[in-house]
Chains A and B, each alone.
Chain A
Amino acid sequence: MTQIDLQSLTNTLKQGVIDLAKKTLKDYEDQAKADGQQTIDSMKDELETWGEELKSGQIDSDDLKDLIAGQEDLFKMTALEEAGVAAIEIDKFKSGLIELVTNTLLSII
């Protein structure tokens, strides 16, 4: 009968989980930073354009207020999108965990 070194198995799984968590979080962190930066840059450009349009009379102050309020709604949507991506990463982590446990156990059984 196959003998299993329980301590070695536990250590392998522990290290595997740590590595997997680090990689999953790093991927998500990089993506979230890039998306956040892009959102801020985009809003800065929009504000400049709207300011010029207000000066030239192409839009009025009510239009401007509505556009700024629209940005607030858009931020809420961006936050929801990020939350959704975090949930996707959690699922990837769980999937990776299954693979880790499967491969580790199969290699010693």
Chain B
Amino acid sequence: MRTKFYTSLLASVLIFYSCSNTISLYDQCAYAQTTSAKVDALNFMNLATNDYNAHQKDITDIQTELQKAYEYEKHRQKNVFTIKMWDILLDSNGHLFGGFIKRWENEGKLKKAYIDDKKKEIGNAFDEIAELESKKTKQSQASGK
């Protein structure tokens, strides 16, 4: 009788906990998109020593790439921390990538030293997103409990 009870208890505990991850599992595609977007965004920033209006296509292209990565993240379950990080990174009223584009538009051209400093900040911001992803539990670890 007791054996049955404990077996049922065990099964209940396992079922409850296996269905209740607090944060999304690691996603290789999300990680690859983030690191790829980082490289493209930092290369793109070098263009800002030139006139903003001469690079409309480059600006649209990089914004599209980043929006694709952001949309992918937005549709993953239990991904609130990563989504909030992307929000800060892309916010045009903020001071990372979104703010950089807006400032370039307002100023027309930006100084090389400023761009180099900003690239470090924005590179670090991308790294925060990628690092969180890389620390997430892998599917193989989750299923191999």
Contact = CB atoms under 8 A, between A and B. Distances in A.
Interface of A: 1-4, 42, 46, 49-50, 53, 58-60, 63, 66-67, 69-74, 76-78, 80-81, 83-85, 87-88, 90-92, 94-95, 97-99, 101-102, 105-106, 109
Contacts, number: 131
Given A49-B117, A67-B117, A91 B125 contact: no
B81 A80 contact: yes
B135 A88 contact: yes
Given A66-B99, A77-B89, A80-B128, A105 B22 contact: no
Contacts of B2: 1-4
A77 B20 CA distance: 25
A77 B135 contact: no
Q: What are the 7 tightest A-B residue pairs by CB atom distance, in nearest-first order? A: A84-B81, A58-B113, A69-B95, A87-B23, A70-B95, A63-B114, A70-B121
A77 B117 contact: no
Nearest to A102: B10
Interface in B85-134: 85, 88-89, 91, 94-96, 99, 103, 111-114, 117-118, 120-122, 124-125, 128-129, 131-132
B120 A85 contact: no
Given A63-B111, A88-B136, 15 more contacts: A59-B111, A59-B117, A70-B118, A73-B95, A73-B99, A74-B124, A77-B128, A77-B129, A81-B128, A81-B132, A84-B82, A94-B22, A98-B18, A102-B10, A105-B9
B29 interface: no
Interface of B: 1-3, 6-7, 9-10, 13-14, 17-18, 20-23, 81-82, 84-85, 88-89, 91, 94-96, 99, 103, 111-114, 117-118, 120-122, 124-125, 128-129, 131-132, 135-137, 142, 145
Chain A's interface: helix, strand, loop or mixed, by majority? Answer: helix
A95 B25 CA distance: 13
B81 A98 contact: no
Contacts of B128: 74, 77-78, 80-81
Given A49-B117, A85-B135, A94-B20, A70 B10 contact: no
A98 B20 contact: no
B22 A91 contact: yes
